Amino acid sequence: MLRILEQKNLSKYGELTASLPLPPYAELHISEAVADDGVKGYIVYTYAPEEVTIWDVDDGSDLNQCDGLVRSVLFKAELKGIERAVFRVNKPEMQKRLALLRFVKNDENVLENIASIMDSCKSCGENHTNP
C-alpha cells in the first residue's frame, strides 16, 4: 500500500533543496510516497497566503504516483483556503506528466482553481470502468 506522508526531517533533501530557487522566507515542505519497501518518490512545495508552489516532483516515472503526490498537496492547500497552485518544476518530462494529468494546460505553470481539479475526482468512484 502506498501512503503519502509529510517528511519532517528534511536533512536528506539538503542538496536538492539548495538547488531550488526558493524565496528566502519560504517554509519548505516535502511529502514522500512511501510503500512497505521504502520511499518511492517525493514532492517539494511551499505555501504562501494566496498560493501553493510546487518546486519539484519525483514520481519514479509512475503516472499514478505523480497524481497522488500532487493531489495530496493540492488537498492540503485547499484545506488552508488556498485556491491557486503554481508549478515551478524544471523537468521537461515531469511537465509533460503534469499536463497529461491536467494539472497544467497549454504549457502554463499555474492552476487557478484547485477545486476544479479536486472536484473532477469525485466522480471517479462512480465510473464503472474503474476497478
Split into its structural domains, the chain has a count of 1
Q: Is residue 130 part of a domain?
A: no
The answer to whether the beta carbons of residues 43 and 56 sit under 8 Å apart is yes
Q: Is residue 127 part of a domain?
A: no
Quote the CA–CA distance of 54 and 130 in Å, as a whole number. Answer: 28
> For the domain that residue 103 is a member of, what is the CATH number?
3.40.630.30
Q: Which domain holds residue 112?
A: 3-19+26-122
Quote the CA–CA distance of 121 and 74 in Å, as a whole number. Answer: 12
pLDDT of 129 over the 70 cut: no
Q: What is the pTM of this model?
A: 0.87
Q: How much is the pLDDT for 130?
A: 44
Q: Is residue 128 part of a domain?
A: no
Mean pLDDT along residues 41-52: 95
Q: Is residue 129 part of a domain?
A: no
The answer to whether the beta carbons of residues 27 and 44 sit under 8 Å apart is no
pLDDT of 19 over the 70 cut: yes
pLDDT of 4 over the 80 cut: yes
Quote the CA–CA distance of 77 and 48 in Å, as a whole number. Answer: 10
Q: Is residue 131 part of a domain?
A: no
pLDDT of 1 over the 50 cut: yes
The answer to whether the beta carbons of residues 12 and 41 sit under 8 Å apart is no
